[in-house]
Structure 1
Amino acid sequence: MVDAVQITDAAFFESPIIFMEPVPKSSVQLHNGLLGGGNLWNAKGDRPSFGYTDREAQRLREYVINRGGFIYMPTHGNTEAAMQPAMRVLRQILPEYHLTTIPQDHEIYNSFYELSGPLRFPVRKIGSTILHHGPYRQLQGVFVDDRLAILVDTEAMMHVMDGAVQKPFFGHYQDRNRILDEFAPAAARQLINVIIYAVTHGNISDYSNYIPASALVDGEIESAPKRLPNAASRL
């Protein structure tokens, strides 16, 4: 069973961040090459014209461009094959925007934890099987009016977290589970930065005045907002 957000959900536009995950077609029920019920992203289809309906694509555009939503897309590397599902989605919903490299000093690396830049997926291959494709480099994204609106995480930090819980390696490669366990806290810090950035930018949630508790301890209480963010009234 695949638990996925529906594009047609009434609350779709109220989500400050959406996680898009490639889903193999064998694990879900397809209808005319699309995920049944309008799920967000399927990596494979039965026909070359596979994609969203016009209404679905328009709702995704509305979410990203006008509502200020944020989309997180993990990929297993940055080779052409690894990036193909993400590029297919971006070409359909945002053809006029270009995927670019996120600068090393971008705010997303310092929105909560101070990181020196993106992390590197710790397990690149198992025997002759490549798990993560392509050389390491900075992450990629789509900017809308100087706001990072879509993050393509070519180092798949979310999969580090998954692996730390699921323990996917066995036999001679069980020690790779320990690597994921040790790396998981660092991956969590990067994902927390992503989430904090998403909820403090755009128009869906009003946390633009968010100040970490550690900053208050350091004596910045005078600069703290005097009222709760508007988004808090909806909690």
Structure 2
Amino acid sequence: MKITVQFRADSSELLKAIQGLQSKAGAHNRLNQLSHVDFRTLENNRVEISARNILADMKILADAEIVSSGSSKIPILWFSDIIRQSDSESIGIESTANNQIQVTCGNQVHTFNAIDQQSSAFILPTNWLNKRNWKRTSPAFTISFIVHAIFVIYIALTITTKLPTESISIEMVNVPLPTIRKIKKPIVNRVQRRVTLKPSLRKTPQPQVQITAPTQVAETAKLSTAPIHRNFSRNPELPNRIPDPMSTTAKLPANPREYVLKRSSGSPTKVKSGSGIETGRFRAQSQGRKDSKGISSIIETTGATDSADLSSSKFQDLIRVPDNQLGAIIVGQGKDVQGHIRLIRLKHSLSDWWQDPTAIPSFMTWLGDHTLLKADMKFEGGALPLTDRKILDAPIIFMTGHDKDITVGRNMVKGGPLTDGFSSEERAALREYLVERGGMLYFDDCGFNGLFARQVEFELSQILPEYPLKHIQYNHEIYKVYYELSVPPNGGDVYWGSENKPRASKFRFHKGITIGRRLAVVYNRKDYMCAMETAEISSRTMLRMRRSADVHRFMTNLLFYTMKYGGNVDRSQYKN
């Protein structure tokens, strides 16, 4: 008898391997129940234990003492029962050439007829019909069979009772096909006949009509000699009027010098118009001269070389800060004002102080187009450091810049290396400007992460420790001093990091420092300078999206507030 495979393995390890295969296959699912297990010897004294069913193919390796290499297929239930009932620690499996499987457990020997690979496919369905499965499924099968049988009988009875009892006679009739009658079309003679018109329809030459122009006849109106009769009263009734009393008493002044006309203190100097005696505002026309134009001389000039037009544009040119100096002048009352202010940037070493170079010139143009306030930067190139004493005469100072890493990373440093803060001299100068000179500092953050803004906030706390930086409430006068603004306008900060897609602003409030009753510092994180630029830059948001009219209105309020309450401003001709 030829042995095809023979090996010996630990019984507990074999049982554990078979249980593992059953667990993988889903022993609780009847469709996944295993029928046979395959043993195949490998090298290094290893045995591959595998099983296959409809849904899966599982393999487990186990240690064994191999006597003869080969493979064999054993029924899994039969083999599992042998292992469970055996008391031996090892089990020997031997398969012969005549399909005999011999399992040795100690002194017990179990024999089974092996099957080949082709017949194993037919064993799985037959396993369903064993006694154990039949006992489990027979009650359910019986109940299901009875229910289906009752349902079939009910359907059959229902169909039988609803069939018609009376028969209907049917007779087949052959209907003849209809005949189609063909109608021949008449033949039409297509010869065209000649038509002769009657004499009354022929064309006749029209007679020429001569049109003569009407004669022009002169008409003369004559006066009628017939009298016109009208009735009127000889004694008409006049309204009762009492003549106004007239006094001829003149009150002469005690001092004749009171007749001297003085120039009004509220009018600009050297303004003349018309002819006659010179007053502070215009020349009153003399009534006794031959060339007198009467009251018209008040509004019309006589062509004198020293006369000036009092229109708003020419008069506004007279309200101007003298050249080569900083300052501001305001004339008028309330919001009905004219004025001029000279602006300056702060040249500092904390960041790119020159950023948004077209913003302030754009604002100056907008200011001239929409208000009677004028502004320029015609002083020292428009920028001064705090170490220059001339900056203390400025009504307002503009300060801006990016975070230090952005300034350095984009190579935007100008005028030397950047520093971490103001020098002691710069701090002393800024304190003198804000506290003693009554100046206004406007800080505008260009972005993005607030590093530069926190640096400026720290400097302000060191310079003005007794004046804290607080939120500016929406009811503050700076939002209503010239234009009515309910909230701070959105600026360029809504585009930080999002290019052309705006986001909600993180900064609901402006911050400020109040000294006494005057707002001396406006601390803005909303990047208004970017919203006033006129230059299109490829690395930023499109210009048409970031320019804001409301930002220009707020900046107008800021300037008017500075001219109304700040230092270095001539308000001698302004009434609040």
TM bin (shorter chain): 0.5 to 0.7
Query: Does the residue aligned with 2:400 lie in a helix, a strand or coil?
Result: coil
**Is 1:180 aligned to 2:546, yes or no?**
yes
Q: What residue number does 2:464 align with?
A: 94
Residue type of the partner of 2:463?
A: I
Q: What residue number does 1:37 align with?
A: none
Please point out which of 392, 395, 409 is paired with 1:13: 392
Tell me: higher relative CO, structure 1 or 2? Use CA pairs within 8 A at least 6 residues apart. Answer: 1
Whether the 8 Å CA contact 1:68–1:203 is kept in 2: the answer is yes
- Given the superposition, is the C-alpha separation of residues 63 and 194 from structure 1 closer, same or farther in structure 2, using an over 3 Å criterion? same
Q: What residue number does 1:138 align with?
A: 509
Query: Does the residue aligned with 2:559 lie in a helix, a strand or coil?
Result: helix
CA distance in structure 2 between the aligned counterparts of 1:132 and 1:200, rounded to whole angstroms = 35
Q: What residue number does 1:30 align with?
A: 416
- Given the superposition, is the C-alpha separation of residues 78 and 102 from structure 1 closer, same or farther in structure 2, using an over 3 Å criterion? farther
**Is 1:166 aligned to 2:552, yes or no?**
no
Please point out which of 490, 502, 510 is paired with 1:120: 490
CA distance in structure 1 between the aligned counterparts of 2:448 and 2:464, rounded to whole angstroms = 19
Residue type of the partner of 1:189?
A: R
- Given the superposition, is the C-alpha separation of residues 97 and 104 from structure 1 closer, same or farther in structure 2, using an over 3 Å criterion? same
CA distance in structure 2 between the aligned counterparts of 1:11 and 1:132, rounded to whole angstroms = 41
Residue type of the partner of 2:535?
A: Q
CA distance in structure 1 between the aligned counterparts of 2:564 and 2:421, rounded to whole angstroms = 31
Q: What residue number does 1:215 align with?
A: none
Q: What residue number does 2:568 align with?
A: 204
- How far residue 128 of structure 1 moved from its aligned partner, in angstroms, is 8.0
- How far residue 65 of structure 1 moved from its aligned partner, in angstroms, is 0.6
Q: What residue number does 2:525 align with?
A: 154
Deviations 1:141-189 (A, max 9, x none): 1111121100011212222002xx112246xx86x322124x2x22111
Residue type of the partner of 1:160?
A: A
Residue type of the partner of 1:151?
A: V
Aligned residues: 189
Q: What residue number does 1:214 align with?
A: none
Q: What residue number does 2:441 align with?
A: 71
Residue type of the partner of 2:559?
A: I
Give unmatched runs, 5+ long, in structure 2: 1-351, 355-381
Deviations 1:44-64 (A, max 9, x none): x3xxxx322222211110000
Root-mean-square deviation (Å): 3.2
Percent identity over paired residues: 28
CA distance in structure 2 between the aligned counterparts of 1:208 and 1:78, rounded to whole angstroms = 43
Deviations 1:70-114 (A, max 9, x none): 000012479754631321321332223211000101111112111
Q: Which has the higher helix share?
A: 1
- How far residue 11 of structure 1 moved from its aligned partner, in angstroms, is 2.1
- How far residue 14 of structure 1 moved from its aligned partner, in angstroms, is 1.1
CA distance in structure 1 between the aligned counterparts of 2:461 and 2:504, rounded to whole angstroms = 22
Whether the 8 Å CA contact 2:490–2:551 is kept in 1: the answer is no
Rg (Cα) greater in structure? 2
- Given the superposition, is the C-alpha separation of residues 62 and 120 from structure 1 closer, same or farther in structure 2, using an over 3 Å criterion? same
Q: Under a length normalisation based on structure 2, what TM-score does the superposition of the two structures give?
A: 0.30
CA distance in structure 2 between the aligned counterparts of 1:157 and 1:208, rounded to whole angstroms = 32
Q: What residue number does 1:39 align with?
A: none
- Given the superposition, is the C-alpha separation of residues 93 and 178 from structure 1 closer, same or farther in structure 2, using an over 3 Å criterion? same
